[in-house]
Amino acid sequence: MPYIKIEVLRDGVTREQKQLLIKGVTELVTSVLNKDPHLTHVVIDEKEDDNWGYAGEQVSVLKEQGFSTEKK
């Protein structure tokens, strides 16, 4: 019974994107590990920018300084 936890910043992730993550991860675990998709659990845990740090600083502060999580 696989349990997969995905942690992301609460950064405008839509319901549709979450569904795609859940579906894609479930399909990957089924394909790679040969696990039953009906027994695979995927949890998406959204974090506030203040509760996530990178390079010694809160992401909220980094964003104020121009940091972006968007793909370039």
Catalytic residues: 2
Q: Are 5 and 45 in contact (CB under 8 A)?
A: yes
* Strands (DSSP E) found in the chain: 3-9, 41-47, 53-54, 57-58
